[in-house]
A and B are shown apart, each in its own frame.
Chain A
């Protein structure tokens, strides 16, 4: 196919005789390469969605379902509490004045009334007990205090 025959012996012109043209390609023939690559691309495009994990599940909607009990509620007590009197739950700053009510709202849908406290090591006992008081007011039964192992960062 790449060879092209001259159509007709035409009269005149610089090439007098109807001669066979043999074009020599000076570049590398990348066409088979691109061909194969595109086929591969298509194969992977078609296969890619099937490679994704198993079956797609659309969870049923339930407006009043219980939160999974193992989902833990963390309260962060940074050292900045000393200045702004605010703790953090899910990165949201909550002033100590409204902490009890907010945690009460969060406890409504939970079965285990447990809160985990991530306090700074320099928080003093007075500050800790202020937070404890509010958590107890909110109906929290157990407060776990997180720590790290000696070598851990």
Chain B
């Protein structure tokens, strides 16, 4: 009997011991988890996270001007940085008019983290601006409000010619570091505009003067590229964002390339028939365009210098509006070979033609950049047009604008998350951007009529 007692008892003790060991192990594991293992990179701790289910909340108070002459730059940088970070919708940006409840800090040591926490901030950006002659030095730090530690710290020195560029650079680097996202704050738009209101005498089709402009992605810093006092439309960027190609009515429509930093204007097609709608291939070596040099509008491709012309389409109906796939192996275009204009795709060698859309009228396709595989286009919906997106993987079409004015000429941002388009929703033709999901419409231009945007890399 004693033996049996011992046997059962020791088994029970064994079970208890195992259970106890498991509980003990669990108890030991729990506090170990938050501490990072030594071989882990510190990046994990660097990312500021928000409350569960909400994006991180950032506050960007005005940058501190270290000398009085820097005050204006300091204010601009903070405001533009706020707009840049809000544009990608990765963070909730606490409105700047609420910051008066937080005591202003002159140095990083004075940041009142308790007040920022009370305002709900997860991260706060502290920056200083110092002016040294014509140069400015911008120093910026992003603090995690909970741990009170700087997770991002950079210093920039340069001219004061474009203070917005400092904010755009900071925004792109914060998006890259915190969200592993390629921001578009330093990209630019090009578009056609009649904002200088020039008119010339001549045939009716030439009285309308439009010039090519470039501007920052937010519409600021717009600059004129062409000064030809003619109709210049449909600009597109070279992949390195150093050249803009466009159609210029001289008075016969022809293709021109303006090299922005060299101040050179080239005419690769050299008046062979009428040539329209140039678009650079993704590697920047070739250019697709539409031409009627063989009698009716067809799609062609050529080298950027005008050599190696190759005809892509061959059909008695009209083909226009080419756009390259991200790999440069396919071209999407508009054709009315079915009776109404529809979007088609074809290999860059002219083979494997395929119809995509079945709209009442579809035009101006734009192929998205690589992470997304879709084509945005303008489709007739009632009296005007709206932007629709055709998803090549699923074959589904979705609509992102809904009958506010007419909406045309979509152009993708280089990260594929935004689309620029021209719309009459605010009266005259203006350039707007919209999220790929149809949210956050933003008007970029206000002066004159502005159409046919293209977004640089």
| A interface, CB within 8 angstroms of B | 1-2, 31, 34-35, 38-39, 41-42, 45, 62-65, 67, 94-95, 97-98, 100-102, 105, 108-109
B9 in contact with A101 (CB, 8 Å): no
Residues of chain A within 8 A of B57, CB atoms compared: 105
In chain B, positions 1-60 with a C-beta closer than 8 Å to chain A are 1-2, 4-5, 8-9, 11-12, 15, 19, 52-55, 57
Interface pair B101/A98, CB less than 8 Å apart = yes
Give the residues in chain A near B98, CB-CB below 8 Å: 98, 100-101
Given contact pairs A62-B53, A97-B101, enumerate 9 new A-B contacts (beta carbons under 8 Å).
A31-B1, A34-B9, A35-B8, A38-B12, A45-B19, A64-B53, A64-B55, A65-B53, A105-B92
In the complex, chain A residues whose CB is within 8 Å of the CB of B54 = 105, 108-109
How many residues belonging to B are interface residues under a CB distance threshold of 8 Å?
23
- Contact partners of A102 in chain B: CB under 8 A: 118-120
Question: Of all chain B residues, which has the CB nearest A37?
Answer: B12
CB distance from B326 to the nearest CB of A (A): 27
Residue B306 interfacial (CB < 8 Å): no
Given contacts A1-B1, A31-B1, A101-B94, contact A94 B12 (CB under 8 A): no
The verdict on B95 contacting chain A, using a C-beta distance below 8 Å, is: yes
CA distance A101 to B94 in the complex (A): 8
Q: Which of A35, A39, A94, A100 contacts B118 (CB 8 A)?
A: A94
The winner among A45, A102, A105, A108 for most chain B CB atoms within 10 A is: A105
How many A-B residue pairs lie within 8 Å, measured between CB atoms?
Answer: 54
Cβ contacts B421-451/A at 8 Å (1 or 0 each)? 0000000000000000000000000000000
Least Cβ–Cβ distance between B207 and chain A, in angstroms: 50
- Report B-chain residues with C-beta under 8 Å of the C-beta of A67: 53
Q: Which single residue of chain A is at the shortest CB-CB distance from B102? A: A98
* Complex Cα spacing A101 to B98, Å: 7
CB-CB under 8 A from B12, the residues of chain A are 38, 41-42
- Given A41-B12, A105-B57, A105-B92, the answer on whether A98 and B118 have CB atoms closer than 8 Å is yes
Task: Give B116's nearest chain A residue, CB to CB.
Answer: A98
| Contact B5 A109, beta carbon cutoff 8 Å | no
In the complex, the answer to whether A108 meets B53 with C-beta atoms within 8 Å is no
Tell me whether A101 and B119 are in contact in the complex, defined as CB-CB below 8 angstroms, given that A41-B12, A65-B53, A109-B54 are known contacts: yes
Q: Are B92 and A35 in contact (CB under 8 A)?
A: no
By a CB distance below 8 angstroms, the chain B residues around A42 are 11-12, 15
Which residue of chain A has its CB nearest to the CB of B5? A31
When distances are taken between beta carbons in the complex, the residues of chain A under 8 Å from B94 are 101, 105
Which chain B residue shows the least CB distance to A67? Answer: B53
Residues of B within 8 A of A35 (CB): 4-5, 8
Contacts of A62 in B (CB 8 A): 53
From A65, A105, A109, give the contact of B120 (CB < 8 A).
A105
Contacts of B2 in A (CB 8 A): 31
Would you mind naming 19 contact pairs between A and B with Cβ atoms under 8 Å apart? A1-B1, A31-B5, A35-B5, A42-B11, A45-B15, A45-B19, A62-B53, A64-B55, A94-B118, A95-B101, A97-B101, A98-B98, A98-B119, A101-B95, A102-B119, A105-B57, A105-B120, A108-B54, A108-B92
